[in-house]
Amino acid sequence: PRQPAKTLWYDRPRYVYLEFCVEDSKDVKVIIEDQRLVFSCRNADGVEFYNEINLYARVNSKDSREKRSDRSITCFMRKWKEKVAWPRITKENIKPAWLSVDFDNWRDWEDDEEMERAMVEQYAEV
């Protein structure tokens, strides 16, 4: 039986990050589409993990990557609309039990001066 991997996520101006917490993962498969991510793997004990996430907004699947370590698999997905904060990672406004915000990596980048300046410039161009 497959089970979802514990997943952490956080938001950045250009990318949105997802970390699937599976130690010693094998057979890792990550499929990133415009508005969907599918993750699967097995751990050392042969347990199968599977997560499917309908994304809150569109990402650029060609400019998205994943990186595997002994402890987890991290995916970073380039936002289609940069510098737009994602209030959540899922399209549906429901929080699955296996999903949580990675508060260690979460920064409130709307308070970032550079960001604000860039946003102001953006508005000025309109």
Taking only the tens place, the pLDDT of each residue in 50-102 is 999 999 999 999 999 999 999 999 999 999 999 999 999 999 999 999 999 99
Provide the token pair at 92. Answer: 């549906």
Compute the mean pLDDT over every residue in the chain, rounded to the nearest whole number. Answer: 90
pLDDT band for position 126 (cuts 50, 70, 90)? very low
Q: Which domain holds residue 22?
A: 7-125
Q: Which amino acid is at 30?
A: V
pLDDT at position 121 over 60: yes
2 within a domain of the structure (yes/no): no
First-to-last C-alpha distance (Å) of the chain: 52
User: Residue range 101-106: average pLDDT?
Assistant: 87
pLDDT band for position 39 (cuts 50, 70, 90)? very high
1 within a domain of the structure (yes/no): no
Q: What is the CATH number of the domain that holds 74?
A: 2.60.40.790
Beta bridge partners of 50: 40
Task: Note the pLDDT of residue 119.
Answer: 58
- CB 42 within 8 Å of CB 27: yes
* pTM (2 d.p.): 0.84
Listing DSSP states for the chain in one string gives -EEPPEEEEEE-SSEEEEEEE-TT-EEEEEEE-SSEEEEEEE-TT--EEEEEEEBSS-EEEEEEEEEE-SS-EEEEEEESSTT---S-SBSSS---TTEEE-TTT---GGG-HHHHHHHHHHHHH-
User: Residue range 104-122: average pLDDT?
Assistant: 67
Q: What is the count of structural domains for the chain?
A: 1
